[in-house]
Amino acid sequence: MATPDASHAFMSASATGAAAPVGVFDLAEAAHAFVLPEGVRYLDTASKGPRLASVLAAGQAALADAIAPWTLSFDAWRAQIEALRALAAATVFAGDSEGVAMVPSAAYGLAIAARQVPLAPGEAVLLLDGQFPSNLLAWQQRCAETGAHLAVARRAPGQDWTAAVLATLEAQPRVRVATLPHAYWRDGSLLDLDRIAPRLQMLVLDLSQSLGVLPVRLDAWRPDFVVSVGHKWLLGPMGLAWLWASPHWRAHGVPFEQHWQARDPGADWNFPVEAPPPFRAGARRFDAGGVADPLRLAMASAALQQLQHWQPARIAARLGALGAAFDEELQAQGAGDWTVPGHAPHLGALRPPAAAMQGVLPWLQRAKVICTHRHGALRIAPYLQLTPEAMRALAREMVAVARG
């Protein structure tokens, strides 16, 4: 697999047409690690991560290699898969590579989780009001199949998500499982999983908006499943998402497709008609078909190498400084109440008065500021290509435009 190597930095074409150095960058140099069109201020990591030059180069090299597919032997391909699994585990899953599986989307991983949970009529699945649909639809389906129902946590005015979840647990004693994020996808408001997790029988986490930045406390939270897309804060390609399964589900879980990749057919690759070969060890039974495409493996591997070098805790600190600079400038401009109190260090939202938003939206286009506008708020999800100064300037400009 062609992955960039820090000691052999080479050059690739960037989206601007300029040559960009490729390799593993130190945090102080992080702004130079990305390929973004000239003049764009990209604040949409919560939708898709900015493209690392190393990931672009790895993808291009993998595509070029694919003109001679026979040069990648079956064993070398399997070794790539296992190396990537170990890298993901080392970077974001506390080194637990036996617990990690590769799936095509968060929805796929969450559907696996939902399928395992035993649910009976009268029991409930706790989730948040307005939760991302990939972590809603599978549970609606399971409830329809089993006669269970959803226990929806809704925030009262001034209440945070943690209090809303704990209040829902009080009100609904028959909650069998909670399926939650760490940071709410619309505005980054945080949940205190240290307080919530001990109150639960079963826990499923969709960490698509925090993995790669906020730590996963597997030992403290003892989740059954953890899911995340790979193309946001993990900076990888679409179509390769991550599923971590607890030791119980690695031994007893049932995947919902029967792909040969998840089985161990032995050295002679034998699949007898009488009975299937055993599952591969650990969470590999949940490995989905089609995901381990060499292109995606190469891109995900380059992305995780860079994240491992930067380290999620240091990324969180740097992104926290960007968010703090933005919020401080809003305060200084008298617009402190346009943002969400208690948001994650890396993810927030700006909610100017509704009339003002009408002026802000066309300005975003003119000024090449990229962010998601939904439900009356602009989601602010910067990454390491931005600086605190740039975030302050952005806050000043946005407030000025909103005020006309």
Ligand X SMILES: Cc1ncc(COP(=O)(O)O)c(C=O)c1O
- For ligand X, the closer CB: 97 or 134: 134
- The secondary structure element, H or E, covering residue 241 is strand 241-245
3-state SS of 60-119 is HHHHHHCCCHHHCCHHHHHHHHHHHHHHHHHHHCCCCHHHEEEECCHHHHHHHHHHHCCC
Shortest distance in whole angstroms from residue 33 CB to ligand X: 23
Q: Directed axis angle between helix 53-65 and helix 294-310, to 10°?
A: 150
Tell me how many degrees the CA angle 8-11-15 measures, rounded to the nearest 5.
145
- For ligand X, the closer CB: 99 or 237: 237
- For ligand X, the closer CB: 25 or 225: 225
- Cβ–Cβ < 8 Å for 110, 138: yes
Show the tokens assigned to 398: 């946005």
- For ligand X, the closer CB: 241 or 295: 241
Q: Directed axis angle between helix 106-116 and helix 137-146, to 10°?
A: 20
Shortest distance in whole angstroms from residue 280 CB to ligand X: 23
- Enumerate binding residues for ligand X (CB under 6 A): 105-107, 132, 134-135, 181, 185, 206, 208-209, 229, 241
Q: Determine what percent of the chain falls in helix, strand and coil, rounding each to the nearest 5.
A: 45, 15, 40
Quickly list DSSP for 268-328: TT---SSSPPPBPSGGGGGPPTT---HHHHHHHHHHHHHHHHH-HHHHHHHHHHHHHHHHH
Shortest distance in whole angstroms from residue 397 CB to ligand X: 27
- For ligand X, the closer CB: 103 or 402: 103
Backbone angles phi, psi at 381, to 5 degrees: -135, 75
- For ligand X, the closer CB: 96 or 206: 206
- For ligand X, the closer CB: 80 or 134: 134
Buried b (16+ CB within 10 A) or exposed e, 360-369: beeebeebeb
- Cβ–Cβ < 8 Å for 241, 230: yes
- For ligand X, the closer CB: 221 or 279: 221
